[in-house]
Amino acid sequence: MTTPDPALLHRLEAFYDALPRFTARAEEFGGLVLFVREGAGWPFYARPRLDGGEPPSAADIMAARERQRELGLPEAFEWVHENAPDLLAVARSAGLAVLEAPLMVLDPAALPTADAPDVRLLDPQSPAFAADLELSRAVAAVGFSTPGTDSGAGGPAERDAARVEIDAAALEGERQAIAEGRRFTAVAELPDAGQVASGIGMRAGDVVEIAGVATLPAYRRRGLGARLTAVLARQALAAGADLVFLSASSVDVARVYLSVGFRRVGTACIAEPAPVAAPA
């Protein structure tokens, strides 16, 4: 990992704070801000306040968790470790399990330029957009249910079983986000299987985060995730993004992103309640 760049890490922190504000309201709990989505869509997280006030305490975390439970939201917290190094211990003391994920930024000069004929961006004007989007989310659900890069069970049948119909309001919200340049989705397809990998780009200002990159376990180890990530990165740059980044769920996954021009610059902490041990 390169020496941490405070200015770069602050830009990433500002992105994490700005992105939810397009579709969520902010509620403050001491040193934390909880983003509560207005309407349908993936729920957001709580994270340290951007204004540099008092660092979050264990009491702040417990208050935010209580509010998340009250609203029926996941008890999810995210932050950049280098910007709040003391929060890791505080979060664990408050009963959270913390994933320390490699935080990686794109070096555009190292991005492969090779074509990826098996990868395409979803077109919001296509008659098949709703079906495409539903399948892409089903791919992600199956892929993330089996973390890592190893191949295994989980193919088109499991993807189709996980498919959930998107209601009209959510679909229109997705189209609006694409039209405004805030979001785009790419999928990888094979002739005998249809969609087997998917991922998204999310933009706030001149920064784009690539997220949700997943491959069906039965189709891993074919370079699909790398090619799809490269297509998302090229799309972000073509749309004028000045900074493209992502978080890898493990060191093994980070190696995939290294192969398409990303380098580690820090650590993204992603926290949720620690599992409760079963009684002896």
Q: What's the average model confidence in pLDDT over 196-211? A: 97
The CATH class of 108-260 is alpha beta
Instruction: Count CA atoms within 13 Å of residue 134 on its CB side.
Output: 14
Q: What's the average model confidence in pLDDT over 124-130? A: 95
Are 87 and 233 in contact by the 8 Å Cβ rule? The answer is no
Q: What's the average model confidence in pLDDT over 233-242? A: 96
- Which has the closest alpha carbon to 237: 107, 115, 121? 107
pLDDT class for 135, splitting at 50, 70, 90? very high
- Give me the pLDDT at residue 204, please: 96
Q: What's the average model confidence in pLDDT over 252-258? A: 95
pLDDT class for 87, splitting at 50, 70, 90? very high
- Which has the closest alpha carbon to 217: 258, 134, 157? 157
pLDDT class for 115, splitting at 50, 70, 90? confident
Does residue 41 come out as left (phi exceeding 0), alpha (psi in the -120 to 50 range) or beta? Answer: left
- Give me the pLDDT at residue 277, please: 59
% of the chain beyond a pLDDT of 90? 85
Q: What's the average model confidence in pLDDT over 79-94? A: 95
* 201 DSSP β-pair partners: 184, 210
CA gap 133, 121 in Å, rounded: 11
CA gap 168, 66 in Å, rounded: 31
278 has a pLDDT exceeding 60: no
Q: What's the average model confidence in pLDDT over 48-69? A: 93
279 has a pLDDT exceeding 70: no
Q: What's the average model confidence in pLDDT over 118-128? A: 95
Token pair belonging to 228:
């799809």
Q: Cα 92 to chain center, whole Å? A: 22
* Angle, vertex CA 265, rays to CA 122 and CA 207, nearest 5: 40
144-187 per-position pLDDT tens digit: 999 888 998 999 999 999 999 999 988 998 999 999 999 999 99
- Give me the pLDDT at residue 70, please: 96
The residues spanned by each domain of the chain are 6-102, 108-260
Q: What's the average model confidence in pLDDT over 86-111? A: 96
3 has a pLDDT exceeding 90: no
- Give me the pLDDT at residue 209, please: 98
27-54 per-position pLDDT tens digit: 999 999 999 988 777 889 999 999 877 8
